[in-house]
Amino acid sequence: MAGPFQIINEMEGRSVIISPSLLSADVLNMERDIEKIEREAEWLHLDIMDGHFVPNLSYGPSLLKALRKRYPDKFIDVHIMVEPPEAFTGMFLAERPSVLTVHAEATPHIHRVLQSIRHEGVPCGVSINPGTPVEVLYPILHMVDLVLIMSVNPGYGGQSFIPETLKKVSALAEWRRTNECGYLIQMDGGIGPDNTELAVSHGCDVLVAGSAIFGKPDPAAVIREMRVNAERGRQVGKKGNL
Ligand code: DX5
Ligand code: ZN
């Protein structure tokens, strides 16, 4: 069984990892849209929605299979918003995600689901919705590679950022400092150049952005702008000015 904290090295002294959400890419021109950001973005974020855990449908494992075939070395960050996750993890694990993230709210057996992902040698992530307290994560933080704090209610792109969720990021950054954990902290929803500094100053390592990136004529330029703002956020965070 693979140990936890397999992807912390992805940071490599970076201020931030940007993971563009393909939910906002043009489905009929997915490859063209990925080419626009592939060199600039470290990761690709794939949102899987089941019309049950969240009120929307998106893709299935066949898209991950196609992406993996086309981009064998790309870090593909798969976020499954499905219930129960244990009914679907196998079919996604078969297509080699770089990290597989499941929701804590979607199963009474989150510990078991995370164990089963790790058992397959794939890094695992856990996510919580805006209405879920961060404390539910404390018993499992020692076994995850990534924690995804949703900054909108999952289901749709293009929603407004919920600032109260930043407190959870600060709590996770503090927990990581005082416990032997090496997870990355990710935020997803309503993120773009305007709030990148804020998110990174609170302790975010990985930012997911969909509409802010793919909704613009020059998506790569948006990522560069986010990176500059992230560096400012890192400096603020270091000074402890929060
Ligand atoms: C929401 C998804 C997000 C979404 C982000 O359910 O998990 O990844 O695509 O989109 P924006 O950046 O447009 O809020
Ligand atoms: Zn997502």
Instruction: Give 184-217 as a DSSP string.
Output: EEEEESS-SHHHHHHHHHHT--EEEESHHHHTSS
> 212 CA distance to ligand 1 centroid (A)?
10
What pLDDT does residue 233 have? 97
Which pLDDT tens digit goes with each residue over 40-79? 999 999 999 999 999 999 999 999 999 999 999 999 999 9
- Return the SS3 of 181: coil
Q: What is the mean pLDDT of residues 108-118?
A: 98
Ligand 1 atom with the shortest distance to the CA of 158 = 13
Ligand 1 atom with the shortest distance to the CA of 210 = 12
- End-to-end CA distance of the chain, in Å? 39
Which residues have C-beta atoms less than 6 Å from ligand 1? 21, 23-24, 45, 47, 79, 152, 154-155, 157-159, 188-191, 208-212
Which pLDDT tens digit goes with each residue over 144-192? 999 999 999 999 999 999 999 999 999 999 999 999 899 999 999 999 9
Which pLDDT tens digit goes with each residue over 181-238? 999 999 999 999 999 999 999 999 999 999 999 999 999 999 999 999 999 999 998 8
Q: Which of 33, 77, 145, 188 is catalytic?
A: 188
Distance, CA of 150 to chain centre: 9
DSSP 8-state secondary structure symbol assigned to residue 10: G
What pLDDT does residue 240 have? 61
User: What gap in Å lies between CA 37 and CA 216, rounded to an integer?
Assistant: 12
- Return the SS3 of 102: strand
What are the CA-CA distances from residue 219 to residues 18, 162, 184, 187, 222 (Å)? 12, 23, 24, 19, 5
pLDDT band at 3 (very low <50, low <70, confident <90, very high): low
What pLDDT does residue 2 have? 59
Minimum CA distance residue for ligand 1 atom 2 = 154
What pLDDT does residue 238 have? 81
Q: What is the mean pLDDT of residues 114-127?
A: 98
**What residues contact 120, with CB distance under 8 A and at least 6 apart?**
93
What pLDDT does residue 127 have? 99
- What residue has token string 């929307």? 56
Q: Which two tokens stand for residue 4?
A: 């936890």
Are 137 and 126 contacting, i.e. CB atoms less than 8 angstroms apart?
A: yes
Cut 0.95: pTM above it: yes
What pLDDT does residue 239 have? 73
Ligand 1 atom with the shortest distance to the CA of 23 = 9
Flag whether pLDDT at 131 surpasses 80: yes
Q: Which of 47, 77, 145, 205 is catalytic?
A: 47
Residue 47 catalytic?
A: yes
Angle CA(87)–CA(92)–CA(94) in degrees, nearest 5? Answer: 110
- What residue has token string 């219930």? 83
In order of their start, the domains of the chain are 4-239 (3.20.20.70)
> 239 CA distance to ligand 1 centroid (A)?
30
